[in-house]
Amino acid sequence: MTQAILTIEDYAKTFHLHERNKDIPSASGVNLSVYPGRLTALIGPTGAGKSSVLKGIYRTYLPSSGRILYRSKAGNVIDLAKAGEHQILELRKQEIGFVTQFLYCLPRKSAIDVVAEPLFARGVDSHEARGRAEKLLAQLAVPSHLWNVPPATFSGGEKQRVNLARGLIAQPRLLLLDEPTASLDPATTERVVEYIQSLKETGIAMLAIFHHPDLVRRLADEVVELSPPIAVNELSKD
Ligand SMILES: Nc1ncnc2c1ncn2[C@@H]1O[C@H](COP(=O)(O)OP(=O)(O)OP(=O)(O)O)[C@@H](O)[C@H]1O
C-alpha cells in the first residue's frame, strides 16, 4: 500500500474545566492512518470523541497528547500536534480541508462567494473561482436561484451542501468530513456519495465520520472504531 498521508499515534484530548476543577476526556488512545485515494471512516457511539479527533487534526483543538504526523506536499513530515500557528494556517489554506457539521459564514456573503472563498484565499482569479463554485453548487443540486443569496436563511440540507461545496472546491490533499450527509435527502446523499467516490480517484485522502453503516460499507477503505474515553476521576472511584 502507498505511504500514509496522515498517521495518528496515541492521540488524546482532555478539557479542563477550571471553574469546576474537573477534567473532561473527549478522546483517548486514538491510532489511525489515512492514505491517498482512500477513505478512513471514524465510527463509534455518540460522545466517543470522533469530532474531537478531526478538530485535533485541524487544530481547532490543541491535542493533549499523542502525535499527528502529516506528510506534506513538499514531502516533510509535520507533527500537527506541535506545529506553529502560522504553519497550521498555511496547511489549512493549501492542503487540509475540513467540512464541519455546520456552516459558519458572514451574514451578507452570497452562497457562491462562500463556496469560492478557499479559492480566493489561494489567489485564484475571482471569475474562475466563482465559475468553479457554480459548477460545484450545480453538481450538489443547490438550486441556481439560491446561488446569489446569503446562506443564512437556507434550509439545513441546503446549508450543508454549501458547506460541502466549500470544503471540496479547493480539492485539498487531506479532507476531513464530519457527517457530510447528515440532514440530506436520499437523492442528494447519493450525489454526495458519488462525488466522494470520484474524489478518491483524484487521489485525495479522506477521514470521515459517518453514523450510517451503509455509507461506511460503500465508502470506507479503512474503518476505525472509537470507544468513549474513561475519565480519570471515574477510574479512581474503584
Ligand atoms: N469544547 C469542549 N469542551 C468540553 N468538552 C468537550 C468539548 N468538545 C467535546 N467535548 C466532550 O468530548 C466528548 C466527545 O465529544 P465529540 O463531539 O468529539 O464526540 P463524537 O463522538 O463526535 O459525538 P457525536 O457522534 O455525538 O457527534 C463529549 O463528552 C463532549 O462533551
CA 113, 152, 177, 220 torsion: positive or negative?
negative
If one counts the domains in the chain, the total is 1
Residue 40 belongs to a domain: yes
The protein residue with its alpha carbon nearest to ligand 1, atom 1, reads: 15
Class of residue 109 by CB neighbours under 10 A (exposed 0-12, middle 13-18, buried 19+):
middle
Averaged pLDDT for residues 68-76: 96
Q: Which residues make beta-bridge pairs with 234?
A: none
Q: What is the pLDDT of residue 136?
A: 93
| Residue 198 neighbours by CB under 8 Å, 6+ apart | none
- CATH number of the domain that 102 lies in? 3.40.50.300
Averaged pLDDT for residues 46-63: 93
Distance 231 CA to ligand 1 centre (A): 13
Q: pLDDT tens-digit profile of 73-85?
A: 999 999 999 999 9
HSE-CB of 72 using CA atoms within 13 angstroms: 14
Residue 230 belongs to a domain: no
Residue 113 belongs to a domain: yes
Atom of ligand 1 nearest to the CA of 53: 18
Residue 235 belongs to a domain: no
> Which amino acid type is present at position 150?
P
Atom of ligand 1 nearest to the CA of 55: 18
Averaged pLDDT for residues 25-43: 94
Q: What is the pLDDT of residue 133?
A: 97
Averaged pLDDT for residues 141-169: 91
Report the length, in residues, of the chain: 238
Residue 66's pLDDT band, with cuts at 50, 70 and 90, is: very high
Distance 27 CA to ligand 1 centre (A): 8
Q: How much is the pTM?
A: 0.90
| Residue 18 neighbours by CB under 8 Å, 6+ apart | none
Q: Predicted ipTM?
A: 0.94
* Ligand 1 pocket by Cβ (under 6 Å): 15, 24, 26, 44, 46-52
Instruction: State the CB neighbour count (10 A cutoff) for residue 37.
Output: 15
Task: Give Cα separations from 16 to 38, 64, 188, 234 (angstroms).
Answer: 35, 10, 40, 15
Q: Which domain holds residue 34?
A: 6-225
The protein residue with its alpha carbon nearest to ligand 1, atom 18, reads: 49
Q: Which residue has the higher pLDDT, 86 or 195?
A: 86
Q: What is the pLDDT of residue 1?
A: 63
Distance 120 CA to ligand 1 centre (A): 32
Distance between CA 218 and CA 68 in Å, rounded?
A: 27
Average pLDDT over the chain reads 90
Under 8 Å between Cβ of 79 and 67: yes
Cell numbers for 189, please give them.
Answer: 446523499
Residue 137 belongs to a domain: yes
